[in-house]
Structure formats: structure tokens, C-alpha cells
């Protein structure tokens, strides 16, 4: 099949949402586009959050099997050791290690970053995968709404902390795992951090995921300005609708109704692994990747805001400065 019919069918899937985000989209595109096997990445250092279950664990296992050295962050030592053993079960000769840290505590995030810098002269891939949809309002150790803390501020701080090691790599990648839920929200600095009285967990999650996309564009632009010869590629993706413990806990009704159409964690992780291993991928400060294809940031016009990338960056800087002072 030539490129034009393939593209037309892909656009048809994208327009349906369900056909695109469900396992139908992944299996159809894999067949239509004849996805190539992943490239091996012997010895490349991959730092990943959220690898104790679900999509992150599937990505870590696949990358370990491709020869990468895996180092992941986890809050609980028991779960971390269990995840390490699971990853190595299929890859007994792989290098897999972890550090205990908490994304809801910026001091812990900084300590994790420092530990990585002390251990690895260069970091080839940083994957921000950890996340959760909280039905109840809560605060992080630093006093931020916990959804914003985990999905926005902690990844921003960790990326900044690891920039020296990423710049030492010859072809570094920073991959942020967002969500299709962000398509329902615009970035708005006045509403990104919800208060207790009007808290809506689904909306808070979607807004945080929109912020991730906007920050990715801002980070790409700023890195090019600061380091004109930088080889770091910043990319944001969404894995589609995946059957994970997080979805079952955060969206139980959705998980129950959509179960036959949900992707497996390995299907959700495919584009993460592809972005981490494929040698030549187009670079852009706009867009979000799904099923190995760069797609629009916005599906509806009311989510478009002029300068939202810079607005997200400045909001993040102000919030982090507030806690520092």
C-alpha cells in the first residue's frame, strides 16, 4: 500500500478518537505502516520514572532487552525490587537499578537528580512516565496541588537537574508521557493549579497533561537558544488508552466499560521505546506523538492560546521560585 492511502486511513482513525486511542489504532497502524523492529541501544543510560508497573515497566523491560542500562525512580523499596526482578526476568543479563525518591517532594527529586549525576557521566534518555489521577484533593510536601507537583513541577525540576549529563550524551532524548485527555483543556496559568473547593481530579489531570505539552515546546526552544549545538531532543507523547493499575484506580468506570478496547502496557509503551531508540526522528517544538507519528497539539480551536508554551514556562518558574524563597 502506498503512502497516500496509509495516511488517509491514519487520519480516519485519528478523527474517530476511539479508533485512534484504543488498541484498534495501535494494531491497525502497526500493520498499515509496517512498523520496523526497534534498534538496539547497547550501553545507553536510560533514566525513567514510574517503572514499577504499567506502561513504564513495559518500556523499561523493552529497553533493557535492547541493551540499555536502566535506572528508575520509585517511592517504595519493596515495589521497586519487585519491578527490578520482573524487568530482569526476561533480560537476565541486563543492567537495572533504582533509587528511592518521591516526585511529590522536590527535595527528594533534586536528591535523585544529584545521585544520577554522581553515578553517570552522561544520560542518554530521560523518560517522564510517572503519574496518577487523584480523585481527592491533596498537597505535595512543598504545598503544591499534588497533580501539578507530580506531572509538571517535578519533571521540570528533574530535567533541569539532569541537563549537564544529557548534554554530555551525543544524541540525548527527553520523553514526556502525556495523555489524550489534554485535548480537552487549554493551558491557563490562573487555573492550572486547582483549589480544594472546586477540585475535579479528571480536569486537574487533563490540565497538567496540557501543561506538559506546552512545557515540552518551551524546553525545545530554550535549549536551542542556550546551547545552539545541543543534541538533546525533547518530545512528548501519549500512549493511547491503556489498561494499567492507574487507569483502574483513577477511572474505574471507564476501565470497566472500555476494557475490551484498551491497549496492553506494551502497546502503550511502543512509541516511548521507539522515540528512545530510533536514530532519525524529526524535531519540532510543537506537536504530540502517538503511534510513531507526530500529531497536532490541538483538536479543537478553543484550546489554542497564543504564547501558551512561554506562559507555561513562566508559570513553572514562578512556582518553583516561590518554594525556593
- Comparing CA positions, the residue from 190, 246, 182, 266 lying closest to residue 217 is 182
Q: How many CA atoms lie within 13 A of 280 on its CB side?
A: 0
205 is catalytic: yes
Catalytic-labelled residue, pool 120, 137, 183, 205: 205
How far, in Å, CA of 17 to CA of 9, rounded? 13
Q: In whole angstroms, what separates CA 20 from the centre of its chain?
A: 19
- DSSP letter for each residue of 46-86: EEEES-SSHHHHHHHHHHHHTTPEEEEEES-HHHHHHHHHH
* Residues paired with residue 69 on neighbouring β-strands, in sequence order: 45, 95
Cβ proximity of 127 and 237 under 8 Å: no
Cβ proximity of 69 and 45 under 8 Å: yes
Return the residue matching grid coordinates 545507553.
44
User: 3-class DSSP state for residue 98?
Assistant: strand
Please name the helix (run of DSSP H) or strand (run of DSSP E) that holds residue 45, with its range, or none: strand 45-49
Sheet holding 125-128, edge to edge: 95-100, 69-74, 45-49, 125-128, 173-177, 233-237, 288-290, 293-295
Q: In whole angstroms, what separates CA 45 from the centre of its chain?
A: 17
Catalytic residues: 205
Amino acid at each position: 500500500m502506498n503512502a497516500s492511502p496509509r495516511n488517509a486511513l491514519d487520519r480516519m482513525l485519528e478523527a474517530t478518537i476511539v479508533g485512534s486511542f484504543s488498541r484498534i489504532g495501535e494494531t491497525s497502524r502497526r500493520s498499515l505502516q509496517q512498523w520496523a523492529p526497534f534498534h538496539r541501544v547497547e550501553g545507553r543510560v536510560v533514566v525513567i520514572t514510574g517503572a514499577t508497573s504499567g506502561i513504564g515497566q513495559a518500556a523499561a523491560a523493552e529497553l533493557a532487552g535492547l541493551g540499555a542500562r536502566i535506572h528508575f525512580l520509585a517511592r517504595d523499596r519493596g515495589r521497586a525490587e519487585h519491578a527490578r526482578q520482573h524487568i530482569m526476568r526476561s533480560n537476565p543479563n541486563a543492567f537495572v537499578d533504582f533509587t528511592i525518591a518521591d516526585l511529590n517532594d522536590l527535595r527528594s527529586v533534586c536528591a535523585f537528580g544529584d545521585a544520577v549525576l554522581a553515578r553517570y557521566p552522561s544520560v542518554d534518555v530521560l523518560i517522564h512516565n510517572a503519574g496518577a489521577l487523584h480523585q481527592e484533593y491533596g498537597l505535595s510536601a512543598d504545598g503544591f496541588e499534588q497533580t501539578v507537583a507530580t506531572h509538571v513541577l517535578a519533571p521540570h525540576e528533574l530535567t533541569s537537574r539532569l541537563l549537564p549529563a544529557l548534554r554530555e550524551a551525543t544524541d540525548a532524548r527527553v520523553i514526556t508521557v502525556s495523555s489524550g485527555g489534554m485535548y480537552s483543556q487549554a493551558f491557563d496559568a490562573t487555573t492550572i493549579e486547582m483549589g480544594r473547593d472546586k477540585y475535579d481530579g479528571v480536569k486537574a489531570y487533563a490540565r497538567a497533561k496540557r501543561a506538559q505539552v506546552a512545557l515540552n515546546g518551551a524546553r525545545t526552544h530554550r535549549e536551542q537558544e542556550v546551547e545552539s549545538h545541543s543534541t538533546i531532543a525533547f518530545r512528548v507523547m501519549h500512549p493511547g488508552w491503556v489498561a494499567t493499575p492507574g487507569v483502574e484506580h483513577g477511572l474505574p468506570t471507564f476501565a470497566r466499560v472500555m476494557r475490551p478496547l484498551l491497549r496492553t502496557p506494551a502497546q502503550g509503551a511502543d512509541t516511548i521505546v521507539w522515540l528512545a531508540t530510533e536514530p532519525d526522528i524529526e524535531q519540532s517544538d510543537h506537536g504530540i506523538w502517538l503511534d510513531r507519528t507526530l500529531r497536532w497539539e490541538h483538536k479543537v480551536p478553543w484550546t489554542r492560546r497564543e504564547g501558551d508554551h512561554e506562559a507555561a514556562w513562566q508559570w513553572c518558574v514562578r512556582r518553583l521560585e516561590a518554594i525556593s524563597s
